[in-house]
Amino acid sequence: MDDELITERRPVAFPQVFGYVRHVTGGLPRHAALVDCLTEYCDRHELALCGVFTERDRTVVIHSPAFVGLLDALELPDAYGAVVPALSHLGPKGLGTERKRQIAATGARLIVIRLLTPTTRSVSSLSASHSLGHREVCDVRA
């Protein structure tokens, strides 16, 4: 018999990801809710959230300190990807597109958690929206 361990008994490192949120309005409870959403998503999907870079400056620039920090982290040898609550956290349309390109250039994956705030929607409409590509439902109202 082979002494090789079965896969379930081998220590497996979860893929390392880094979070990025743009938080220029709202207080600490909202920021905490955004980070909690990233953490919960990563826990459910067996991803190791190694840090969260937070953009707090209202000025929209391509090479902000938080985004440059994210890009630097994505260059680490074991980095798997970046996780954001929604694409809007990468910035307005043109800036978001450029930032997606820069993340892709690192060879890392971009994982987007689409934030939905369920109000009067029925459970069936939430299920339908989930099947249309929405990954998670997180309520970050604070």
Whether residue 53 lies inside any domain: the answer is yes
The answer to whether the beta carbons of residues 74 and 106 sit under 8 Å apart is yes
The answer to whether the beta carbons of residues 85 and 34 sit under 8 Å apart is yes
Which three-class secondary structure state does DSSP give residue 56? Answer: coil
Give the CA-trace dihedral at 30, 84, 87, 94, to 10 degrees: 110
Whether residue 136 lies inside any domain: the answer is no
- What is the pTM (predicted TM-score) of this model? 0.73
- Each residue's pLDDT tens digit, 51-93: 999 998 777 677 789 999 999 999 999 999 999 999 999 988 8
Q: Kindly report the CATH number assigned to the domain that includes residue 79.
A: 3.40.50.1390
pLDDT of 126 > 80? The answer is no
Number of domains within the chain: 1
Whether residue 8 lies inside any domain: the answer is no
Whether residue 140 lies inside any domain: the answer is no
- Each residue's pLDDT tens digit, 16-63: 999 999 877 778 888 999 999 999 999 999 999 999 999 987 776 777
Domain membership of residue 52 as a residue range: 13-131
